[in-house]
Amino acid sequence: MGDVLAGSHAAWEFESDSVLIRYERGMRAPKLFAALGERRVPLAAVEGVSLSPGRRGTVVLSLDLREGADPLLAAADGQLKEGADPYRLVLPAERDALAEYYAEELRGLLTATGPAERFLIDAPEVPLAFKAYDAKASFDGRTVRFRWFWTGASSAKWKAGDQSFDVAELTGVEWRSPEVFEGHLRLLRGETPAAQPDQDPASVVFGLGYGPVHESLPFAAAVLAAVRGQRGTAALVPAPARRDPADVADRIRHLGELHAAGLVTDEEFSAKKAELLAEL
């Protein structure tokens, strides 16, 4: 079609095989929209199109995606608030006839139904990083890393040390919104997690402004897409990177503080110190 329909915080460009959604980056736009920038939605990922009354004299044009077509929605698992749904376009009510026209045009192009066998919409681009309450999480497309914060990480996580997970090790991602109690990001490795997220070295916890949706959800979606993408292929495990000496010195200093506070035994302190020194 080649037409553009602009609404609140986004504009949809209709193409013959996809809808390109460009999000507004203004102060009033949802932060998730600004973080995403744009999303290209192939029509093969869309199961339906709906038009419904909105709030305060508006109508809402929505893309109803096939289950499993989008890594962002798969990671969100139904936890996104309505206003942060990236596939809703809010328009003034007087434009409902125009919105209905585009809805009908899109419906006429749809052919796929049912769950998708793979992700059809691209994941957010890497590298990605965000600050959780107890760690800095980073992802380069192949490896997830957690670096614990002295001010937030539990003694169990400090004893385990900073964590590194190749996507080939993972089976999935569990994201619990920071807008609810006990929000966290957990990396799944097949077994049922036994520890609470604040005690699990494969998890980071949110709260107090840490791990906001617009940072942690795109991160979770990118990891999930990488995990799904490597299934059935032989993943290459990169050689472990050598640590920065300054970073090692910082970790040993924190370890010494834990030891002085009685949270780490003499044996644990010696073993962990030797482990860190060996990474130089």
User: Mind listing the pLDDT tens digit for each residue in 76-97?
Assistant: 999 999 999 999 999 999 999 9
- Domain end: 82, 109, 136, which one? 109
Residue 231's pLDDT is: 56
Q: Are residues 10 and 82 in the same domain?
A: yes
- pLDDT above 90: percentage of residues in the chain: 73
Q: Are residues 72 and 167 in the same domain?
A: no
Do the domain assignments include residue 135? yes
Residue 212's pLDDT is: 97
Q: Are residues 72 and 159 in the same domain?
A: no
Confidence band of 250 (pLDDT split at 50, 70, 90)? low
Using CA atoms, how far residue 238 sits from 6, 49, 106, 142, 226, in Å, is: 45, 44, 44, 9, 15
Tell me if 123 sits within 8 A of 71, measured CB to CB. yes
Do the domain assignments include residue 153? yes
- Tokens, residue 263: 């949270």
Tell me which H or E stretch contains 278: helix 266-278
Closest CA to 65 of 5, 127, 131, 19: 19
Tens digits of residue pLDDT in 123-178:
999 999 999 999 999 999 999 999 999 989 999 999 999 999 999 999 999 999 99
Residue 234's pLDDT is: 34
Do the domain assignments include residue 30? yes
Q: Which residue range(s) make up the domain with 260?
A: 245-279
Q: Are residues 14 and 94 in the same domain?
A: yes
Q: Are residues 154 and 215 in the same domain?
A: yes
Residue 244's pLDDT is: 62
Residue 247's pLDDT is: 63
Confidence band of 180 (pLDDT split at 50, 70, 90)? confident
Q: Are residues 227 and 263 in the same domain?
A: no
CA atoms within 13 A on the CB side of 193: 19
Residues 174/180/182/183 CA torsion (nearest 10 deg): 40
Residue 24 above 50 pLDDT?
yes
Residue 255 above 50 pLDDT?
yes
Do the domain assignments include residue 183? yes
**Domains held by the chain: number:** 3
Q: Are residues 213 and 275 in the same domain?
A: no
Q: Are residues 249 and 231 in the same domain?
A: no
| CATH code (residue 47) | 2.30.29
Q: Which residue in this structure is represented by tokens 């609470």?
A: 196
- Domain end: 42, 75, 109, which one? 109
Q: Are residues 139 and 227 in the same domain?
A: yes
Residue 236's pLDDT is: 33
Do the domain assignments include residue 114? no
Do the domain assignments include residue 167? yes
- pTM, full prediction: 0.81
Q: Are residues 57 and 10 in the same domain?
A: yes
**Letter for the amino acid at 257?**
E
Do the domain assignments include residue 17? yes
Residue 246's pLDDT is: 66
Do the domain assignments include residue 72? yes
Tens digits of residue pLDDT in 203-245:
999 988 999 999 999 999 999 999 999 753 333 333 344 556 7
